[in-house]
């Protein structure tokens, strides 16, 4: 309870609210009680609760709330598929052919006019930016330091990235560079949600391997793997590969000794607009930072500062849930991955730092007649709309006996404790395509301690160096079809779904151990279920 009260006080200090009044302890009847107490403390002093942290849904009447509660209740019947389970992305689910373009389809419930907007956004998502100055004008501004020239080059076929393979480069996996707070002032900035962490003083927040002509890249990511043999209870043997990361060919001297390296694989783009419209209250209801219910799962939200309003809100995107909106995620990627400035991140020289003077001396791509940044608001509008409306593909083989058996294993060994199957999106979503949809992302969008093996040692906001956001599982069974590989987890170390499960530790250790203790038929069935998503 002391930790919970401190969590409440920290939130209130960040929002500029009066101190929390002391309250008597209350019994832990359900998980949401933890976060409800933490986030509704403002009501005690009579001030307003941040809308991005609301712990009750304001978009539903009592009848609708009862319907939502009933339809999202975990199933206990594994003899047949649940109603609407086929359409895991709601009415926007794509039922088109299962092929390499399965993640690149628009939401099926867009209007004809919106389809045109989606196609324009797709064109910008695929657009290759070039260095300045250039005769193209509206396409220049690349870098000067960068990782790729286009969004699509990182999010391959709108799907999952892959770790570097020999000379294939690191197009779709990057190294984030950061250190934790060290001084009292820095710790106060993190506690007040003014910053997420502190970039390397020379290389910035991300290692940029590429550069425009006349400039040198920052260095190259190097990965070494060490094989680890794991014997399961029934005698089956699985080999895991443990990666270690370093940087070679430094362009501007060594990294700061305190800087940590965190590899980040680009995630699939499907269903992002639906995730954005899950009510904060429904995500916070699953949080239990002090594990008051004693089940060993202590998911917590990453509370972040909204870049537009300046208020506190719920982070739900990124490997550490560090970003609150799709638009901000896109702006961060433009700045960090391509070196393009936007109204949200007006960084004309991308991630270049003061120590990289030659980079800052390079020309930028701002065209006064088009705006004050390289990718002005109309560009951001279209890219954001495209990113919000990439459809989730329909389930496959969901009534097959082995898939149903695997679903039962998924629930019985505890996977659903973090990979929450269902949500119903907000009724008042800005776009009707995402409004009041029953969706099946299989994630609680909270942070969980995944143990030392998966730890990167890099805090991001409220996320510690061993905590990660639960990634959505929808579409995971189509990774091989869309991207031609089966690399999973934040750094692609797992080469199969079985390996990915066996890497789970920390809060998921008991689930991992139950999977390892299951017989081969149960394990195979669980994988079949995941492949049907």
Contacts of 278 (CB under 8 A, 6+ apart): 316, 423, 425, 426, 439, 445
Mean pLDDT of the chain: 90
Q: Cis peptide before 144, with omega less than 30 degrees from 0?
A: yes
The string of DSSP codes covering 412-456 is HTTGGGTS---EE--TT-SSGGGTT-EE-------EEE--TTT--
Does the residue 4 lie in any domain? no
Q: What is the pLDDT of residue 48?
A: 44
Contacts of 178 (CB under 8 A, 6+ apart): 196, 197, 198, 199, 200, 205, 259, 260, 262, 458, 459, 460
In terms of phi and psi (left: phi > 0; alpha: psi -120 to 50; beta: otherwise), the region of 219 is left
Strand, helix or coil at 525? helix
Does the residue 295 lie in any domain? no
Does the residue 171 lie in any domain? yes
Global pTM? 0.91
Mean of pLDDT values over 96-113? 97
473-496 in b/e burial notation, b at 16+ Cβ within 10 A?
bbbbbbbebbbebbbbbbbbbbee
Q: What is the pLDDT of residue 261?
A: 98
pLDDT at 11 over 50: no
Structural domain span for residue 363: 116-268+319-385
Q: What is the pLDDT of residue 168?
A: 56
Does the residue 333 lie in any domain? yes
Number of domains observed in the structure of the chain: 1
For residues 131 and 129, give the distance between their C-alpha atoms in angstroms, rounded to a whole number: 7
Q: Cis peptide before 342, with omega less than 30 degrees from 0?
A: no
pLDDT at 483 over 60: yes
Does the residue 299 lie in any domain? no
Does the residue 235 lie in any domain? yes
pLDDT grade, residue 43 (50/70/90)? very low
Taking alpha carbons only, the member of 408, 520, 424 closest to residue 90 is 424
Strand partners of residue 244: 224
Q: Are 149 and 128 in contact (CB under 8 A)?
A: yes
pLDDT at 353 over 60: yes
pLDDT at 32 over 50: no
Q: Cα 468 from chain centroid?
A: 9
Helix (H) / strand (E) containing 87 = none
The first and second tokens of residue 459, run together, are 């805090």
Does the residue 444 lie in any domain? no
The CA–CA distances, whole Å, from 243 to 197, 443, 493, 496 equal 24, 25, 7, 15
Q: What is the pLDDT of residue 512?
A: 98
Does the residue 255 lie in any domain? yes
Q: What is the pLDDT of residue 49?
A: 58
Worst-scoring range by mean pLDDT, 45-49, 402-406, 420-424? 45-49
Contacts of 323 (CB under 8 A, 6+ apart): 304, 315, 316, 317, 329, 332
The first and second tokens of residue 141, run together, are 């501004």
């Amino acid at each position: 309870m002391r930790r919970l009260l401190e969590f409440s006080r920290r939130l209130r200090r960040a929002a500029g609210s009066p101190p929390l009044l002391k309250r008597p302890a209350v019994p832990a009847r359900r998980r949401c009680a933890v976060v409800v107490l933490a986030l509704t403390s403002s009501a005690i002093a009579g001030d307003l609760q941040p809308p991005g942290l609301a712990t009750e849904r304001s978009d539903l009447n009592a009848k609708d709330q009862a319907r939502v509660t009933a339809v999202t209740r975990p199933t206990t019947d594994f003899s047949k598929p649940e109603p609407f389970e086929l359409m895991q992305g709601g009415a926007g689910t794509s039922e088109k052919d299962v092929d390499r373009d399965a993640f690149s389809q628009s939401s099926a419930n867009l209007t004809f006019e919106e389809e045109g907007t989606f196609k324009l956004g797709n064109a910008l998502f695929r657009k290759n930016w070039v260095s300045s100055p250039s005769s193209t004008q509206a396409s220049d501004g690349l870098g000067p330091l960068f990782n790729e020239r286009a969004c699509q080059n990182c999010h391959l076929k709108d799907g999952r990235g892959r770790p570097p393979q020999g000379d294939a480069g690191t197009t779709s996996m990057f190294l984030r560079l950061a250190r934790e707070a060290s001084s009292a002032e820095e710790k106060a900035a993190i506690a007040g949600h003014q910053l997420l962490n502190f970039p390397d003083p020379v290389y910035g927040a991300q290692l940029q391997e590429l550069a425009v002509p006349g400039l040198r890249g920052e260095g190259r990511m190097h990965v070494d793997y060490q094989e680890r043999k794991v014997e399961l209870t029934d005698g089956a043997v699985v080999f895991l590969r443990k990666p270690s990361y370093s940087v070679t060919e430094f362009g501007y001297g060594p990294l700061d000794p305190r800087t940590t390296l965190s590899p980040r694989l680009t995630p699939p783009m499907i269903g992002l607009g639906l995730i954005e419209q899950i009510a904060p209250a429904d995500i916070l209801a699953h949080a239990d930072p002090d594990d008051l219910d004693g089940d060993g799962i202590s998911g917590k939200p990453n509370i972040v500062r909204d870049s537009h309003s300046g208020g506190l809100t719920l982070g739900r995107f990124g490997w550490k849930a560090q970003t609150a909106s799709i638009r901000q995620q896109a702006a961060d990627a433009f700045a960090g991955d391509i070196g393009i400035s936007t109204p949200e991140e007006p960084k004309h020289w991308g991630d270049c730092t003061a120590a990289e003077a030659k980079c800052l001396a390079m020309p930028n791509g701002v065209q006064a007649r088009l705006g004050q940044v390289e990718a002005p608001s109309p560009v951001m509008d279209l890219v954001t709309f495209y990113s919000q409306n990439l459809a989730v593909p329909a389930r496959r083989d969901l009534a097959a006996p082995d898939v149903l058996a695997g679903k039962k294993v998924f629930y019985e060994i505890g996977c659903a404790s973090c990979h929450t199957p269902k949500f119903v999106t907000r009724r008042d979503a800005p776009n009707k395509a995402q409004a009041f949809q029953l969706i099946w992302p299989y994630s609680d969008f909270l942070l969980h301690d995944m143990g030392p093996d998966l730890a990167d040692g890099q805090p991001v906001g409220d996320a510690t160096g061993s905590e990660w956001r639960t990634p959505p599982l929808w579409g995971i069974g189509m990774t091989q079809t869309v991207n031609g590989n089966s690399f999973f987890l934040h750094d692609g170390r797992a080469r199969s779904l079985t390996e990915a499960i066996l890497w789970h530790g920390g809060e998921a250790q008991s689930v991992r151990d139950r999977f390892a203790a299951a017989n081969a038929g149960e394990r195979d069935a669980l994988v079949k279920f995941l492949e049907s998503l």
